[in-house]
Structure 1
């Protein structure tokens, strides 16, 4: 079933209302039609009933995540399933197919994974590893390294860096960065962006590719 004039019907299976709503807003903004199911146990039956173009499946509360994924994938037929989970045993990860994101995640990473799944791209095609000078960012693992040295970032710091690295050379206002990292209507002020950028630069040290554009905002120099 394809949404009229949009990108397709997405069934979002997510137990946290706030997270589900954030996913819905970002997906709708990209032209998708979205249905939300808060109970993962109902995911197989809802998938069979709705026949969505793609399923976003929260596995973080599942006792047997691989089994739930298998049952949803069977109900989905040819439609892809994007698994959302925290750290898992490697054997379980291998059972989750080629489309998945690690919790916590940026809404933009989730939207990218949905687009990748619908295009039938292989793992890592989008979102993939990002590089800027000595800085390497891996969206799936939510990991950042400078050279071979890992950098510990907060969720918001990571989302800010991922957004900037995904759009090198573009100057963004503080309001645009608020929208990207905190979500539309989050209520945080522009000063919040300055504080997080300062913290991010301090952690990246001399390898920081983020530059201030006076009177406008920030840009990442590739």
Structure 2
């Protein structure tokens, strides 16, 4: 499957007033959500990254020029930087080098985005101080997973590794799902689908939005694929009359039931 950068998603549906039933959340009142600086001069890609990061509960700042990024990093260092290699003003490679030379940003996690896929270029980016390196075009779910992994290592207090709702638990770090005393065996796609829905309880996602966020763009996949994988997920989660935590909203899409675990 050819995972590629996708077009900017449709306008997001209205969010639930306050997610209930799933904890912990990165944007809980007790802990401020991580701040991520996106430094990318392609407007459509920058908007796409911002949309998906905000959907994960992060605070996002966007700049298009390397010199603007330099100012932001000096004034108010974020928790993580997504940094394009080729930028107007100052290159991403030079920004990364300068970050590693300053005490305030020396240990700040950096994911480098680039169209340069050669091994020598990857080595160059990592040797200059980038923590991770991802080549365009890329899968959005893969990038989100890398963001969470870096934040968990750098700021474990800011990103939840475990999502729970009632007797259902999803362990992001070990890729495990359980329901009560039973292990739930999911394929990679079903795991990502559950993680995405469970992380935003009550919020309704259209099939197109789920297709964009979970699979990325592929000409070989249509919206019926979402229904197939939701069906597999439901079968794995609900056995022997167990309550189904996934809601189908006719004509709109799917959501994780925000009352799950509350009224059982």
TM-score by length of 2: 0.48
Which residue is 2:236 aligned to?
203
Q: How does 1:36-51 map to 2 (within 5 A)?
A: 39=119, 46-48=125-127, 50-51=128-129
Mapping 1:1-222, distance limit 5 Å: 3=39, 5=63, 7-9=81-83, 33-35=112-114, 39=119, 46-48=125-127, 50-52=128-130, 54-56=131-133, 106-116=142-152, 120-122=154-156, 125-185=158-218, 187-205=220-238, 206-222=242-258
Q: How many residues align?
A: 149
Encode CA deviations 1:143-173: one digit per residue, 9 max, x unaligned. 0000121111111111110100111110000
Uncovered stretches (5+) of structure 1, i.e. residues with no partner:
12-31, 58-104
Hey, what's the Cα distance between the residues in 2 that align with 1:132 and 1:200?
A: 16
Segments of 5+ residues of structure 2 without an aligned counterpart are: 1-37, 41-62, 65-80, 86-110, 135-140, 259-264
Change (3 A) 1:183 1:127: farther
SS for the counterpart of 1:162 is: helix
- Whether the aligned pair in 1 keeps the contact of 2:112 and 2:133 (CA below 8 Å) is no
Query: What is the CA-CA distance between 1:197 and the residue it aligns to?
Result: 0.6
Does the C-alpha gap of structure 1 residues 154 and 106 become closer, same or farther in structure 2, counting only changes over 3 Å?
farther
Higher relative contact order (CA 8 A, sep 6+): 2
Quick check: which one's strand share is greater?
1
RMSD value, Cα:
3.2
Instruction: Give 3-state SS (helix, strand or coil) of 2:194's partner.
Output: helix
On the 8 A contact 1:109/1:127 being kept in 2, the answer is: no
Give me the whole-angstrom Cα distance separating, in 2, the residues matched to 1:38 and 1:129.
36
CA distance in 2, matches of 1:110, 1:181: 14
Equivalent-residue separation in structure 1 for 2:166 and 2:221 (angstroms): 30
Tell me the secondary structure at the aligned position of residue 141 of structure 1. Answer: coil
CA distance in 1, matches of 2:246, 2:118: 38
Structure with higher Rg: it is 2
TM-score w.r.t. length of structure 1: 0.56
Question: What is the DSSP-based 3-state SS (H/G/I as helix, E as strand, rest coil) of the residue aligned with 1:178?
Answer: helix
Q: 1:112 to 1:44 in 2, by over 3 A?
A: same
TM superposition outliers: structure 1 runs of 4+ over 4 Å: 41-46
Contact kept in structure 2, 1:3 and 1:33, CA below 8 Å: no
